[in-house]
Each structure stands twice: as structure tokens, then as C-alpha cells.
Structure 1
């Protein structure tokens, strides 16, 4: 089946399922604009096709999908041509997945970050294997957890979403299941059989239950307590001072989290926390409109390009954030990221 996307994404009809495979293993299945548009067209077609009971999406190689093609975004922005339309179409796709009326099963057998989260976590069934590595690391490159991060992260238990968003730390399948990111955990060796069952029966609940195994949470009880205590606070300076006090008292989890936050873009931290606080009160479409507002300001700012330069261009260098300290960020500057767009809001 050809919905576009070229060699980067494959569409098949197998039994009762529409099967999507991202086929850029050397690029860790990073999402391109063409892939976004092709998947959008496939979902539109399959939503109207009564012979398609469910949709299954996976990726070739060691990644489900490690994000968007960030170097392309960087190059376009530095050339004065920010890729606003790519993000607009990506955000519309994320919202379409969230409202898709049929089961949408993401088989996450490897790395899932950024844009990969956007095409998985909003589906009805998120199946993680022991190979899954989840992260929303955007604050580390002067960006923010987009693709619906403002919607699903505030809804995770124990303020775990704020912790993941502000640190960018990675988690495995047990933490994903406990927090609510994953709905099922299965052994990688059972992935092919699970896919066969999904295609044969069209019953995502029964197939998921048949192959599900228990994946114990990797994060310890004391660490969960620490995360909940500090990352439930609603102001960044309160989070930092709370972590500092705990770190001084010998809390190693707090010390590590504090050390990580001190390397992140101050602007990104403040924008991200505010987006999470708003997102917890908004529906998915509203979150995507808010994120598009933030995105427009990020793509015309400094820290995003500086973060990419330090991480991917001059690999291993230290980014020079502007401003460099939390206390130097003007509240009005953060407010500006959330203001209505003069050119019009994201149309869903």
C-alpha cells in the first residue's frame, strides 16, 4: 500500500490490521515530514475502512523511533527557514492518533524518544519490551517536550511526568508500565507472535493480555518518594531549592536530579514546567495549539540552536544558554512563549 513516505515508511494490510513500519534503521527511524504526511493519510483511509479493525505501528532495527530529524530542523532554522509546517503537520498527526476511534497499537521494541513518543504514546495500546528505552530529552537541547508531552506527562502518576520532562532522564519498560506510559509489557521474543495475533484476530485487548508479562518498576520506592516530593512543586525555584536541601542531607537521587537540571537550558525548564501546569487542565487539541505557540518562539530563539550545536554539531561541548541562570530569566519572556500567534493558531 502506498500512502507516500517513500522508502522511509511501509504500509501493509495483514489480516484485520493496518500495519505501519518505520524503515529508517540507520537514522533510528527519525520522523521526516514525508513520514508524518503518509501516516496521516493512512489513518484517514483506515478509519473509514470497515475491514481494518486496528492499526499497528513499529520500527525496524534497534529503535522504535528516536525522534524527529533534528539536524534538518537545525539547518533550516539557521538558514532562516524554520520548519513550522513540519511541526504543524506532526502535531496534527499526534492529535489524530489520540482521537483515532479504532485500537492503535504501538510495538515499542527499542528506543522511543521525541517524535517517536508522539506516534506511540497517544495510541490506545502502548506495548513495551525489555529493549524499550523511553525519554523526552528536549530540555537538554534548549527545546521542550512537545508532540503532546504537555498532555500526557502531567497525567502520569507521582509527578513522574514532571521529573521526566525536566531532567530528560531515560527509563525502561517497568517504569513505563508503572507510570502509565505503557499499557502492556511483553518479551521481545514474543513480538512477532503478538503481531500475528493482532493481525489474525483484530482484538488488541485479547492479544495484549495473552502475551503480557509483569515488568517490575526499576525506580526504587525511596527514589519514587523523592521524585514525588520535589517534582510536584509548581515553581522552578522551589523545585531547585527543595532538591538542594535534600541533596545536602545526603539524598543521592535529589543530588543527581539537581546536577542534571543545572545543565539544562533555564528558559526550557521554565517553559516546560509552565506547559505541564497548563497541560494538566487542557484537552489534547488545546495542548497541541499551546505547543505550537511555544514551538514558534523556540524556532526563532537562541537556546534550541545552541543546544543542537553543542550536542550534535560540536559534539560534547558545553552550551552557552541565554540567559545562563534561572534567576536571570524574565517572567515576561516566559509569558511570551504562550501568547496567541499573530499569524493564526494551529488549525486541527
Structure 2
């Protein structure tokens, strides 16, 4: 028989031991060479970033962020680098988001690591948004969360028929961060509010139709597009735009397909224009259409706190600069983590 005092001690000891194991794991991962996780190359006129964790759907970790940021700043200042290209390895994902498992473990075990991750991730997002060189993100495959943050703030975003975009954070007790409060309310009508609150997934050409991608290219031509961009001689922003537009114009897949949400945009604009989550829910109930009731079902599965934070985040972000939004989101991230 174990005495209560001994049991209490054992529980505390096991908790302490587990925390130490997590911290050791995080320290090791912090000091691992990230050269294999993100590839940074100068090719022709371009700096090329390849997110190289295909087994983890190219999820971002702190090591990767710490390698990308200084190289991005170096290429921005380098007179021989005329554009920056970012892509994902493996064909299945561009970047599925931040490495949530490591972040959540960090949040439980060591507050500073989680603080560092969000702060440095958002600093990278801001650097992309203010980059003085044309920035081309090839968002082929899964593009969610942190993957949106390292693509959508750049000048050019190229989707393919295999692109899958979503900001699903309200389902995990968070909010659509990485500058979501900046770009989402700037999409057509109330589309961004709808995407943020429901986590609705957009696929293929719909990513372009929504205004998230600037161009659409058939995936089989993506390699050729990259080579043509790299082969440009001292290109201007207009030269790069011309190459992207030429590929976009020649793309055939789903060429005549209408936007998946086109027929629902009036409902989205009316139902999601409310200033409170409660009113949005009431609007959907009153609408009563099968589309509205389906969204109601989805929203009812989300974190109520996340829904309220997200709506306020987008309303506030609609009139802020990207940098102001990222500062706001950093403060929100720390309040949600701890």
C-alpha cells in the first residue's frame, strides 16, 4: 500500500522528470543543424528557399525560421539577387503550418521557447511583407497556418490544382495568426471572416479565385516556371510578373470552373457582417438555407473563445498595418498559450 505522502511525491517526481525530458528534447531540436530542414540556394538570378520536411508536411520549426530570416535579409540587400522563390519539398505540401506538437510541448514545459517561436515567426512574416525584392511563393499542395504566413504576404503567390488552403485555428483553440488579421479582412466582401471562423478549405483554382493566390499554374508546368524565372537576366518586377502571367494564361485545368463559393457570397456577406459571434449564429439560423445550416454546424464545433478572439482580431486588423497586426497577434498568441 502506498501512503498518500509517498504517492504525492511520486506524482511530483514523475511530472518533474517528464518536464525535464521535454526540455532536453526541445534543447536538442533547437541546436540541431537545420541545413537539411530548409535548403537555401542561389540559383541564377534568384534566391531559392526549399522547406524540406516532407515527412512532416514541411511544418515550420524554430530552426527553419532562424535560417530563413537572415538569408532573406541578405538576399534583399544583395545586388546580384533579383527575386526570391519559396517552395516545399515532396509534392504533397507547401507548408502545413507551424510544428504544433513542439509548440504545445514548449508551452507546457518552457514559456520562453514558445515566446521565441511566435516572435521570430511573426518577424519573418513581416520581413516577407516588407521585402524589397519580388517574392514568389509556389503554394503547391497543403498550405495552412504558418505556411500561409510565409507565402501570402509576398508579392506573388502561385497556386496549382493540388493547392489546399485553410486557416483551421478556431478548431484548436487558437486564431488565424501569422498576419491573418491583416490579409483575411481584405479579401472580397466578408469572405475572409467566413474562412477564418469556419476553417473552410479552398482547393486548386479556388485559391486563386478567392484572391489568396495571384496566379494559377498547372502543376506539371511548375518546374518549368521555376526554371524560366531563374533564367531571367537582371529582371525587373514587371519581367517576373510577365513570366507568371504567361504561365497563368496557358493553364488549362479547371479553366472554366466557377468559384466554389460564388453562389453563396451574398449569404456569406450578409450573415458574416455582424459584429458579434452570437449575431452571426443568429443570422445563419434565420437564413435557414442548407448552406447556412451547414456553416452553423461547423461553427458549433469550434472553440467559442477562439471564435470571439478571431472576429475581434479581424475587425481590429482591417484598419491596421501588417506590422501592427503582427504585434497584436503576438500578444494574443501568448495569452492563448499560457
TM-score, normalised to structure 2, is 0.85
Q: Which runs of 4+ in 1 moved over 4 A?
A: none
What is the alpha-carbon distance in structure 1 between the residues aligned to residue 243 and residue 203 of structure 2? 22
**223, 241, 249: which is aligned to 1:205?**
241
**251, 255, 270: which is aligned to 1:229?**
270
What is the alpha-carbon distance in structure 2 between the residues aligned to residue 47 and residue 58 of structure 1? 18
What is the alpha-carbon distance in structure 2 between the residues aligned to residue 30 and residue 267 of structure 1? 25
Q: Secondary structure at the match of 1:102?
A: coil
- 2:205 is aligned to 174
Q: Secondary structure at the match of 1:158?
A: coil
Map Cα deviations across residues 118-171 of structure 1 (whole Å, 9 max, x no partner). 000000000000000000000000000000000000000021100010001110
1:65 matches 2:65:
no
1:78 matches 2:114:
no
Deviation of the 1:273 alpha carbon? 0.2
Q: Secondary structure at the match of 1:157?
A: coil
1:44 matches 2:80:
no
Extract unaligned runs of 5+ from structure 2. 1-32
What is the alpha-carbon distance in structure 1 between the residues aligned to residue 142 and residue 165 of structure 2? 6
CA contact (8 A) 2:87 2:139 kept: yes
- 1:318 is aligned to none
RMSD: 1.3
What is the alpha-carbon distance in structure 1 between the residues aligned to residue 256 and residue 57 of structure 2? 25
What is the alpha-carbon distance in structure 2 between the residues aligned to residue 215 and residue 48 of structure 1? 42
Larger helix share, 1 or 2: 2
1:109-120 alignment, distance < 5 Å = 109-120=140-151
Deviation of the 1:222 alpha carbon? 2.5
What is the alpha-carbon distance in structure 2 between the residues aligned to residue 173 and residue 272 of structure 1? 25
What is the alpha-carbon distance in structure 1 between the residues aligned to residue 41 and residue 269 of structure 2? 43
- 2:283 is aligned to 242
Q: Secondary structure at the match of 2:231?
A: helix
Q: Secondary structure at the match of 2:202?
A: coil
CA contact (8 A) 1:10 1:23 kept: yes
**115, 123, 148: which is aligned to 2:154?**
123
What is the alpha-carbon distance in structure 2 between the residues aligned to residue 101 and residue 175 of structure 1? 28
Extract unaligned runs of 5+ from structure 1. 301-348
What is the alpha-carbon distance in structure 1 between the residues aligned to residue 73 and residue 223 of structure 2? 26
TM-score, normalised to structure 1, is 0.82
CA contact (8 A) 2:98 2:146 kept: yes
Deviation of the 1:276 alpha carbon? 0.1
**139, 157, 167: which is aligned to 2:170?**
139
CA contact (8 A) 1:174 1:217 kept: no
CA contact (8 A) 2:171 2:303 kept: yes
Aligned residues: 294
1:262 matches 2:293:
no
- 1:332 is aligned to none
What is the alpha-carbon distance in structure 2 between the residues aligned to residue 13 and residue 115 of structure 1? 24
Deviation of the 1:220 alpha carbon? 4.3
Deviation of the 1:6 alpha carbon? 2.1
What is the alpha-carbon distance in structure 1 between the residues aligned to residue 258 and residue 109 of structure 2? 45
CA contact (8 A) 1:125 1:184 kept: yes
- 1:102 is aligned to 133
CA contact (8 A) 2:160 2:205 kept: no
